[in-house]
Amino acid sequence: MVTYEQRSALIQAAIEVRERAYAPYSRYPVGAALLLKDGRIITGVNVENASYGLSMCAERTAVFKAVSEGQQKILAVAVATENAGSPCGACRQVLTEFAGDVPVFLVDHEGNGRDTTLYALLPDHFGPEHLT
C-alpha cells in the first residue's frame, strides 16, 4: 500500500527530474520516479540520441538505475510528461519484471493526471512467472 505522502513525493520527484531530460529531437521530456521496497525513490529521464533507436525512455532509465543499485522490487511508479502520457510498451514490459501490478501515477508538468495500475496498462502481461 502506497501512502498519500509516498504518492506525493513520488509524483514531485518525477516532475522535478523531468527538467533534466535530454529530448532535443522529440521535445517531449519525461521524468519517471520509482518507489522501491526499501522506501527510496529512484528517478530517471528520457535520453535521446541522433540515432533514434539508441534513445532510452525515462522509465527504463529509472529501472536500470534501481537494479544497478541493488534494488529489484518496485512498489509504485510515477511518470511526468507534458500531457500525462503513459509509458511505452517496452517500458511497461520492463516495469513488469520488477514491479508486478503496482500503482502507476501519470501526471502532467503540474501534477494533474490519473492513477492506474501496471497490469491495467499491460493486460495479459508476460513475466518471470511464465517461464516456469
Question: Quick check: helix, strand or coil at residue 38?
Answer: coil
Q: How far apart are CA 22 and CA 53, in angstroms?
A: 15
Contact 85, 107 (CB under 8 A): no
Q: How far apart are CA 82 and CA 37, in angstroms?
A: 28
Contact 44, 71 (CB under 8 A): no
Q: 124 CB contacts (<8 Å, ≥6 apart)?
A: none
Q: Which residues are catalytic?
A: 59
